[in-house]
Amino acid sequence: MQLGPYTFDRPLVLAPMAGVSDRVFRAVCRAHGADYAPSEMTSSNPLLRATAQTQKRLEIAGEIAPRIVQIAGAVPAEMAAAARDGVANGAEIIDINMGCPAKRVCNRLAGSALLKDETLVREILEAVVGAVSVPVTLKTRTGWSRAARNAVRVARMAEDCGISALTLHGRTRECAYQGDAEYDTIAEVKAAVHMPVIANGDITSPAKARMVLEHTGADGLMIGRAAQGDPWLFARIRAYLTDGTVLPLPTPGEALETMYEHIRALHAFYGEDLGLRIARKHAGWYQRWLPQGDAFRAVFNALDSALMQINYIKELSDSQLGLRHGEAA
């Protein structure tokens, strides 16, 4: 699979999840085996792009290549301008979001709401591809509703407009994240186009990853919610796809070590105030690997300084290190 100067063999991709896939989490997942990781969705609306939140999402300088900015909107000229802005800030690939099911996005006729208007879809694709010299990719869903699946038509249109690769979440906007992913539809899309197709939806284990690849014929996989608190999933999937190796799950000590570095980086990136709150969310996902995880989370959520959060994780980590060396608990 080729994207500009980058070549991938069955890429494993971190999904651009709003409020989750920030620069820090992208770096953690890249370090654990993700081949690339688009930015969180950023609005093409000029007023919204000027906000501190959007500017934070657009910080990609120094990030591991390829650097990918995902944009969303419903006005072709604004989408083209946002793509140019992304490239000017260092993006090597632009990803268009036509898959977000959130009401606040769809109410602005962006994200998956665009699937109701195929004429506007074409106008946006043509505007963005024509605006930049880097590859442009598209993330979308199988349709607006179960009664209006149009993924094959949209995929053919995207290929005709010069889109370099398509990521398809195997659900309609109506489904949101409910029900089973439609791997049959992803297979239909893959058979209908020549460009690379990345399968997305319910890829939660190495065995599921292999099944999805075999069923759909997709060129790669995008992993979203399953990676929250489990960045090791990318390495487990890669090993299993390569030669059937089943890697062990992370130990409590390994989980604490990764959590420690992750949360320190969150504090540094966001500052203490916001970093504290975001750290609680990620710690809540990591807790699954810890004995008495619920108790850990209750204590962690009550801590009200960055130093207290870091020291608490370090104390638990030191305790795990002592247990590994045979010391008394």
Computed over every residue of the chain, the mean pLDDT equals 91
| pLDDT tens-digit readout, 89-108 | 999 999 999 866 454 543 45
Q: How far is Cα 45 from Cα 21, in angstroms, rounded to an integer?
A: 21
- Going by pLDDT thresholds of 50, 70 and 90, the confidence category of residue 216 is very high
Tell me if residue 156 falls in helix, strand or coil. Answer: helix
Q: Which of 159-163, 203-207, 301-305, 314-318 has the lowest mean pLDDT?
A: 314-318
Give the C-alpha distances (Å, rounded to integers) separating 280 from 31, 262, 284, 285, 297.
Answer: 21, 11, 6, 9, 8
| pLDDT tens-digit readout, 256-295 | 999 999 999 999 999 999 999 999 999 999 999 999 999 9
Any idea where the domains of the chain sit in the sequence? 2-243, 252-324
Give the C-alpha distances (Å, rounded to integers) separating 42 from 37, 56, 83, 209, 250.
Answer: 14, 10, 10, 28, 33
CATH of 2-243, one of 3.90.550.10, 3.40.190.10, 3.60.9.10, 3.20.20.70: 3.20.20.70
Are 141 and 173 contacting, i.e. CB atoms less than 8 angstroms apart? yes
What tokens appear for 172 in the block?
């309609």
| pLDDT tens-digit readout, 169-201 | 998 876 667 778 899 999 999 999 999 999 999
Closest CA relative to residue 211, chosen from 233, 240, 247, 169:
240
Q: What is the mean pLDDT of residues 204-230?
A: 98
| pLDDT tens-digit readout, 46-103 | 888 778 888 888 888 889 999 999 999 999 999 999 999 999 999 999 999 986 645 4
Q: Cα angle at 122 between 145 and 170, to 5 degrees?
A: 35
Confidence (pLDDT) at 56: 81
Cβ-count burial of 108 within 10 angstroms (0-12 exposed, 13-18 middle, 19+ buried)? middle
Which residues form the catalytic set? 100
| pLDDT tens-digit readout, 243-258 | 999 999 999 999 999 9
Q: How far is Cα 19 from Cα 10, in angstroms, rounded to an integer?
A: 27
More confident residue, 144 or 222: 222
Confidence (pLDDT) at 115: 85
Q: Is pTM beyond 0.85 here?
A: yes
pLDDT at 22 over 70: yes
- Going by pLDDT thresholds of 50, 70 and 90, the confidence category of residue 327 is very low
Name the percent of the chain lying above pLDDT 90. Answer: 77
What tokens appear for 312 in the block?
């608490």
Q: How far is Cα 177 from Cα 2, in angstroms, rounded to an integer?
A: 29
Q: What is the mean pLDDT of residues 310-317?
A: 95
Q: How far is Cα 85 from Cα 91, in angstroms, rounded to an integer?
A: 9
Cβ-count burial of 248 within 10 angstroms (0-12 exposed, 13-18 middle, 19+ buried)? exposed
Confidence (pLDDT) at 106: 38
pLDDT at 233 over 60: yes
